Amino acid sequence: MATEDLPDNSKMDHGRARELIGQLARAGVGGISFSAGEPFLYGAEIAELVQLCKEHGIYSRIVTNSFWAKSAQAADTLVLALREKGLCQLRLSYSRWHQQHISRDNVVQAARSCQKNGLPYFISFVTDFSAADDPHEQFLRDHGLLFFPEPVIYAGRAGSLPRRSIQTDYQANCCAMNPYLGPDLDMYACCDAGRHFPATNFFHLGNLRHQSLEQLFVKSEAEPLYNCIRTMGLTNIASYLGLPARQIITYGKCELCRQLFNCPETVARLRGEQRELAAWSRG
């Protein structure tokens, strides 16, 4: 998750994390992504959790900034250990912001090690699609690395970054909304910027200290507005509310979501008009 101005160094209790993987498996969860900061600050514990995922038949992925890949040998040591533990994929974060602190050569060495040792990977190239990112994208292409551009999410400290005026096609902007479980055991219905909606706390499902995992999953699946996001998409919801099409296409998906669901008045209206919204269609 994107951090705020004051770093959050909270950490989930390791024993609780082990228990949760078993509970998630019994609930039918098919994949877990370890992220929310830099997982390899706790390398031994993460490796143990990855092995537990393998034992429970859960697909595991780790999101990392590659700080550990300072040499080809260091990269191989970690990648081989992770493959033996059963890790399914490494996701390497890369951007002009990440690379202010981590050498881009680390990312190359991590990716090369994955290629050499048979561990699936991809590079998450975070971008605002400005010309400033062209050299960073070309660097990845020059090295023949597998990457996918992903729009920067303006949440946490990234909320202070200047926003570019974008123009997109008039697309649905549906979202799968994979849940996020934080170290404090708070669970959110969306894994991206879901906890950065301070005016409404719209995506907060509850806390595992007070509710069961099954109850929170049911809440996530049963909420009508969540299902509208998954099926009809954010663009159609915005159109239903009367936002001009010209305005809608200036937002990226997560920004449009924030405009809609971090406004108490808008959320109240949509809750009051759920049937009309679900039945509504353009045309």
Q: Assess whether pLDDT exceeds 50 at residue 283.
A: no
- Residue 89 phi, psi dihedral angles, 5° rounding: -160, 145
Residues 34-59, mean pLDDT to the nearest whole number: 93
* Strand, helix or coil for residue 59: strand
Classify 268 as helix, strand or coil.
Answer: helix
Q: How many CB atoms lie within 10 A of CB 113?
A: 25
Query: Coil, strand or helix: which one is 206?
Result: strand
Torsion angle (degrees, nearest 10) of CA 15, 16, 17, 22: 100
Report the alpha-carbon angle 140-249-159, nearest 5.
60
> In which band, very low, low, confident or very high, does the pLDDT at 3 lie, cut at 50, 70 and 90?
low
With a CB cutoff of 8 Å and minimum separation 6, the contacts of 281 are: 236
Radius of gyration in angstroms for the set of CA atoms belonging to the chain, rounded to a whole number: 20
Q: What percent of the chain has pLDDT over 70?
A: 93
Position 151 scores a pLDDT of 87
> Which pLDDT does position 278 carry in this prediction?
87
- Computed over every residue of the chain, the mean pLDDT equals 91
For the chain, percent of residues with pLDDT exceeding 90: 76
Domain with CATH 3.20.20.70 in the chain: 1-164
Query: Whole-structure pTM over 0.95, yes or no?
Result: no
**Which of the residue ranges 29-43, 95-109, 183-197 has the most confident prediction, judged by mean pLDDT?**
95-109
Give the pLDDT confidence of 128-150 residue by residue, as tens digits: 888 999 999 999 999 999 999 99
What number does CATH give the domain 1-164?
3.20.20.70
Task: For the chain, give the number of residues.
Answer: 283
62 and 46 Cβ atoms separated by less than 8 Å: yes
Q: How many CB atoms lie within 10 A of CB 16?
A: 12
H-helix or E-strand spanning residue 32: strand 31-34
Does residue 1 surpass a pLDDT of 70?
no
Mean pLDDT of all residues in 76-94: 97
Phi-psi label, residue 156: left if phi above 0, alpha if psi -120 to 50, beta otherwise: left
| Across 2-6, 41-45, 200-204, 271-275, least confident range | 2-6
3-state secondary structure (DSSP) of residue 210: coil
How far is residue 153's CA from residue 190's CA, in Å, rounded to a whole number? 13
pLDDT class of 162 with cuts at 50, 70, 90? confident
**Comparison of pLDDT for 74 and 10, the residue scoring more:** 74
> Looking at residues 14-27, what average pLDDT do you find?
94
